[in-house]
Amino acid sequence: MSRAFVIDRESLIKAVEEAKTSKKRNFKQSIELIIALEGLDLKKPENRIRGSVRLPYGTGKDRTIAIFADGVIAEKAKEAGVDAVISSKELDNLSGSRRDAKKLAKKYDFFLSEPGLMSKVGKILGFTLGPRGKMPQIVTPATDIQSLVKELKSSIGINVRNNPMVAVAIGDEEMDAEKVADNALAVIEFIKNKVADKARIKKIYIKTTMGKPVRVM
């Protein structure tokens, strides 16, 4: 059903340009993409969508990454430029503090973990990382952490869990409309492939942080 869906790049560019005419604020506004889905039964866990999409031009702001690791993997992650390395001991210190756990979940966009710490991460942080779609991606000594971190720095997380809608930042108001449109196309293609024959894309909007939504379709 959704595979027949085609979006015109020019329509996206025009929508971005129109969205950027919204009232200027005293901060740099993000440009957001909103995709409404129809027919996606989220009561079935297999229909929920979680993943990351690498944007060809980034969002204008690097994503933040934390890793749960010790030893060799921790050292490789530091060299790769992750924003935080959380050791097994530091993870233990979060146990019993739901407030600190929630603060950590909000602070970083993506999480990674060495295999041996995954069960502990699930036990201590699963309640806050899971609903946000931020459960860690596993890395091993064989993982090319440098390439992974580089990819995630220009990626966004997608988490469709309770509502059949995607709302993500795909750039900022200072970016060229063409680049923002190409970022939007990357997300749309990801969603189209994920829903496949289970649902369809019903509506698409572009907006700035404080601006009114501009309908693309």
Residues 71 and 133 in one domain: yes
Q: Do 141 and 194 share a domain, yes or no?
A: no
Closest CA to 107 of 132, 140, 143, 90: 132
Same domain (yes/no): 79, 125: yes
Over 80: is that where the pLDDT of 188 sits?
Answer: yes
Domain boundary among 102, 119, 152: 152
Residues 202 and 99 in one domain: no
Which residue bears the tokens 């950027």? Answer: 20
DSSP characters over 164-211: SEEEEEEEETTS-HHHHHHHHHHHHHHHHHHHTTT-EEEEEEEEESSS
Tokens of 127: 């309640």
**Span 50-80, pLDDT tens digits:** 999 999 999 988 899 999 999 999 999 999 9
Residues 74, 135: one domain? yes
Q: Which of 125, 152, 179 is the last residue of a domain?
A: 152
Give the CATH number for residue 165: 3.30.190.20
- From 101, 123, 152, the end of a domain falls on 152
Is the domain of 55 the same as that of 159?
Answer: yes
Q: Is there a single domain that holds both residue 71 and residue 90?
A: yes
Residues 80, 131: one domain?
yes
Structural domain containing residue 172: 2-60+155-215
Residue 201 in tokens:
């894309």
State pTM to two decimals. Answer: 0.86
Cα–Cα dist 167/203, whole Å: 12
Question: For the residues 104-123, what does the mean pLDDT come to?
Answer: 97
Q: How many domains does the chain have?
A: 2
Q: How high is the mean pLDDT of the chain?
A: 94
Q: Do 70 and 96 belong to one domain? A: yes
CATH number at residue 136: 3.40.50.790
Please give the backbone phi and psi of residue 41, each rounded to the nearest 5 degrees, phi first: -85, 95
Tell me: pLDDT of 15 over 90: yes
Q: Are residues 69 and 125 in the same domain?
A: yes
Q: Could you tell me if residue 60 is left (phi over 0), alpha (psi between -120 and 50 degrees) or otherwise beta?
A: left
Q: Are residues 171 and 201 in the same domain?
A: yes
Rounded to an integer, what distance in angstroms lies between the CA atom of residue 129 and that of residue 122?
A: 8
